[in-house]
Structure 1
């Protein structure tokens, strides 16, 4: 029984690996993507429209003009195959220090972020990062892997039940925790790190100072007040990890920034 069980797991893992190798991220990482770009764009548009009705939208001209100015420089450098249209940007009145971008050309920025991002360069680092998720199709990848994990867990459960393995419910619960810590959380951290590097490239091409991305994460660390989970249990890398990765890629980013013709001049 154990041999058949192990064989089933090996077959499942091998199949998943072969499927995942069919797509590649902008940094060369293998990806699993089960959904089309049109499907993702429709989902992004529906979600964004819903948020605009459920959350308070800022009407402050200065905030909107500042964020729109920064975003316009970033989105100009998004590959046309990712989105070939006019990006829609909304500033939401909320104290959370956050922003997001969705497939279909949607960007949301919360006013709380503007208290931490001190200037145009730091806001560009955040918007570049969020748009980086869209460029790398991380949403597609997360949904695809969740679907695969769900199929895999159900298959494992059926194997355990059919072989009348004792305490199968406990084993399935342990596998669920193992998947979260061993697969899903590191996977999310990989996405965040990848988006950081794509965002660094974007902000540099758009004429912003890439060195300010480091200052941003220093500010983010201060704003958290130390209330962050251990990196091992977190969906995001620690600020120190992000800063080290950004600094390791800073020389290339500065070369891009020095060679671009864009000279953004966005003010709060």
Structure 2
């Protein structure tokens, strides 16, 4: 009986915690509040910055900031125009370039985006860099980290006791945040998003970069360069991502729609 009651309560929690992703409309379950996700991620992000070496390349750092701010502004304009102004309180955008030769980039909830110098040879133009930053901004806007943390809460604590955990979940959120963000782990701070999240971030990122005035067509050649750069093994940035061929095919499929949407 207790198990049935627990499952019933959990079912109610799921029903009351449903949301939808901007642009795509995909339904998602978000069991953690935006405030808790941002607070947990900010702790991880600040710990990372204590050990990371910021780039000393002023020109490239300015480029990352310039492109990032333009995409963030376009994204916020979209959210305001579509009745999502309340979500803006969750974002305090930062765009950092770090001195690291890995071909990598990541975004923490709240809009903390880091680009590694190892990506610079593949992002020689603002448009190419916008592909990367747009993708990362999309992860934040789609609340993929919250969704991932919610999945981990269910997996870690089990559906039958999830209601009890969520009633006072700060400690649980911090525990799960460490797992999801993986700071100090082999793959650093890259979130292990699912392929579904990656495809969604690709699409949303292209829309946001187009809204900011960048050319979404360059995404095809950018990912072709990323594929060639991987050689016999995919670079870390792509380690949990869709295959090159599938990703490029999806981008090509969406490009006509995106260009028609953003004129």
TM-score range, shorter chain: 0.7 to 0.9
Question: How many Å apart are 1:107 and its aligned residue?
Answer: 1.3
Counterpart Cα distance in 2 of 1:191 and 1:29? 11
Q: What is the aligned partner in structure 1 of residue 42 from structure 2?
A: 45
Instruction: Give 1:24's aligned residue.
Output: 20
Gaps of 5+ in 2: 80-84, 162-191
Are 2:202 and 1:206 equivalent residues in the alignment?
Answer: no
Deviations 1:97-116 (A, max 9, x none): 11112222311111111111
How high is the TM-score relative to the length of structure 1? Answer: 0.72
CA distance in 1, matches of 2:232, 2:208: 29
Question: Which residue of the partner structure matches residue 155 of structure 2?
Answer: 149
In structure 2, the CA distance between the partners of 1:74 and 1:122, relative to structure 1 (3 Å rule), is same
From 241, 245, 258, give the equivalent of 1:253.
258
Displacement of 1:153:
8.5
Match of 1:239 in 2: 244
Which residue does the alignment assign to 1:87? 93
The Cα shift of 1:128 comes to 0.5
- Larger mean CA deviation between 146-155 and 135-144 belongs to 146-155
| Residues 175-190 of structure 1 mapped to structure 2, 5 A cutoff | 188-190=194-196
Unaligned runs of 5+ in 1: 1-6, 156-185, 260-268
Contact 1:20–1:33 at 8 Å: present in 2 too? no
The change in CA–CA distance for 1:16 and 1:152 in structure 2 (over 3 A counts) is farther
Aligned length: 215
Give 3-state SS (helix, strand or coil) of 1:236's partner: coil
Q: Structure 1's 89 and 199: CA in aligned 2 closer, same or farther, altered over 3 A?
A: same
Question: Which residue pairs with 2:51 in the alignment?
Answer: 54
Tell which structure's C-alpha radius of gyration is larger: 1
Cα 1:39–1:153 change in 2 (3 A) is closer
The alignment partner of 1:118 has SS state of coil
Distance in 2 between the 1:69 and 1:240 partners?
Answer: 30
Per-residue deviation at 1:66?
Answer: 1.0
